[in-house]
Amino acid sequence: MRFHCLQHLPDEGPGHAANWLAAHGHSLSHTRFFESNPVFPALEDFDGLLILGGAMSVHDEAAFPWLRDEKAFLNDALRAGKVTLAICLGAQLVAQALGAEVRPNHAPEIGFWTVRFSAKALEHPLLRGWPEKAAVLHWHVDTFAVPPGAIRVGMSAGCAAQGFVWGDGVIGLQFHPEMTVAMVEQLMQFEGHETAEDQEFVQTAEQIRARLKSVWKGRKLLESLLANLVAVHEGEMDL
């Protein structure tokens, strides 16, 4: 299967997703918006989308003009029925494209926090094999409403909408299952998090490092999800 990745920042790459796709014989091409003149593939040149996170907001088109082009491309891909996995900023972009509001969360959510997945979402083919809850990495200020016609994936104490599933093959996740331990360290450095103080839903760098083993929980969720996305695309899963 041919996946295409929309990457917004150098330090927020596909991580575990790239490793799983390569190990299972799937290709991964890229559009990197931090490079000059980013190019989008033709719709017929890929089967699925992987849309990653970023420090910018979906509303920052004045500062990041390429957001307009990305949104137009994303609308075309959704209309074409491309299976899609969108993470953090990526999920916010998909939610907006599907008619949902994207706004600041009541508080930043940074660190490893438990998400409880909804019973209805766990019945969806894309989430087949997921547990009822998992402690996963969060790093966001904004959030989204669940798009019309979508199913809420779950919630945490700090954020009411931790994801959504729309149709048979589109899923957005507010949390970061793709990040490796090295990526978490890079993100803390990029965000200047070493001096961050403990807040209600913000862990310090020391607290995050003490929980880094939880990265494997996100990886397991991601690997199961990718396998399900491939199965849906190839018609191997009952919907």
- Return the active site residues: 88, 176, 178
Closest CA to 43 of 82, 96, 70: 82
Burial class (CB in 10 A: 0-12, 13-18, 19+), 103: middle
What DSSP element (H or E) covers 23?
Answer: helix 16-23
Task: Name the CA dihedral angle for 63, 93, 15, 54, rounded to a multiple of 10 degrees.
Answer: 30
Treating both helix axes as pointing N-terminal to C-terminal, what angle do 16-23 and 215-233 enclose, rounded to 10 degrees? 50
Token representation of residue 174: 């507010």
Measured in Å, how far apart are the chain's first and last C-alpha atoms? 19
Report yes or no: 46 and 29 within 8 Å, Cβ to Cβ.
Answer: yes
Treating both helix axes as pointing N-terminal to C-terminal, what angle do 66-79 and 89-97 enclose, rounded to 10 degrees? 60
